[in-house]
Amino acid sequence: MKPPRHIAIIMDGNGRWAKERGLPRIKGHEKGAESLRAVVEGCAEVGVEFLTVYAFSTENWSRPKAEVSALMKLLELFIERETPELIEKGIRLQAIGRLTDLPESCQRALHKAIEATSGGTRLTLVLALSYSGRTEITDAVKSIVRDVQAGRIDSAMIDPELISRHLYTRVYPDPDLLIRTSGEMRLSNFLLWQLSYTEIVVTQKLWPDFGKDELREAIAEFHGRDRRFGAV
Ligand code: IPE
Ligand code: IPE
Ligand code: MG
């Protein structure tokens, strides 16, 4: 059976994983980075074309300063450490969100890795960083209004296709499958427009305990779904 073309993941539960073990939250994030590594590899192996992961939301900036800076450091390290393997495996790294909110060293590492992996054709890994679905839609509205005011487009041309082309995700297909770990039944401001017809799998597993086997289970559950897109 064909794998979902695009999988999106809300990687949640790192804090709970650490708490269960009496460890600081950052230890959960570190273990979570290993899960991401395994899941990226798993997606490449089964032939998924796009994997978009929610790594940091705009709302996450409100966490304690120490956790935010540790997360940013971890992100930078992860990007630097994984780049050679991404290149070797034909994985292209991309990012969506208000990337200019990130610390400068993080932005530099990110852009370097995006450039270095740009030749990858097997899988596109999209990191959602300082991402908010509502901000993305707001930015799209502003950009469309500018195009109308400048006379580049006529307001009669505004349709869902045009709106999709103004989102951060313009070049990616909509996700087929959304996975959220650790049991929460909410979107938390992730890809609000793009998830309109996405199949949702929520697992109780905490993100640091999620690996290739759990990915395969989620894909199997996806294959059991009857996607109707409103038709009968
Ligand atoms: C997800 O794990 C990682 C980020 C949001 C950065 P959490 O840190 O939200 O973990 P819980 O939800 O507190 O367990
Ligand atoms: C969503 O998880 C954001 C990321 C996974 C990066 P949160 O833990 O921030 O979401 P809420 O607070 O449970 O909605
Ligand atoms: Mg959480």
> Exposed, middle or buried, 126 (CB in 10 Å: 0-12/13-18/19+)?
buried
With a CB cutoff of 8 Å and minimum separation 6, the contacts of 182 are 12, 13, 16, 203, 204, 205, 206, 207
Ligand 2 mean position, distance from CA 190 (Å): 9
In order of 19, 32, 49, 94, 211, the CA distances from 97 in angstroms are 29, 20, 20, 11, 25
Q: Ligand 1: does its nearest atom lie under 6 Å from the Cβ of 60?
A: yes
Question: Which residues does residue 7 pair with via DSSP β-bridges, in sequence order?
Answer: 51, 177
Ligand 2 mean position, distance from CA 59 (Å): 8
- 182 contacts 13 by C-beta, under 8 angstroms: yes
Each domain of the chain, given as residue ranges in start order, spans 6-223
pTM strictly above 0.75: yes
Cα dihedral 72, 188, 36, 83 in deg (nearest 10): -50
Q: Which two tokens stand for residue 16?
A: 């709970």
* Amino acid (1-letter code) at residue 138: T
The predicted-structure confidence for 7-21, as pLDDT tens digits, reads as follows 999 999 999 999 999
Chain position carrying tokens 């799209």: 140
Task: Give residue 103's pLDDT band: very low, low, confident or very high (50, 70, 90).
Answer: very high
Ligand 2 mean position, distance from CA 5 (Å): 24
Active site residue 12: yes
Separation CA 58–CA 168 (nearest Å): 15
CA-nearest residue, atom 11 of ligand 2:
188
Separation CA 24–CA 89 (nearest Å): 33
In order of 38, 86, 90, 155, 232, the CA distances from 123 in angstroms are 14, 9, 7, 36, 33
Which is the closest atom of ligand 2 to the Cα of 54?
6
The predicted-structure confidence for 132-168, as pLDDT tens digits, reads as follows 999 999 999 999 999 999 999 999 999 999 999 999 9
**In whole numbers, what is the pLDDT of the chain averaged over residues?**
98
Active site residue 189: no
Q: What is the model's pLDDT at position 155?
A: 98
Q: Ligand 1: does its nearest atom lie under 6 Å from the Cβ of 33?
A: no
Question: Average pLDDT for residues 218-224, to the nearest whole number?
Answer: 98
Q: At what angle do helices 65-89 and 104-116 cross, to 10 degrees?
A: 10
Q: Which CATH class is domain 6-223?
A: alpha beta
Q: At what angle do helices 25-46 and 212-223 cross, to 10 degrees?
A: 60
- Ligand whose nearest atom lies closest to the CA of 190: 2
- Ligand whose nearest atom lies closest to the CA of 127: 2
Which is the closest atom of ligand 1 to the Cα of 57?
5
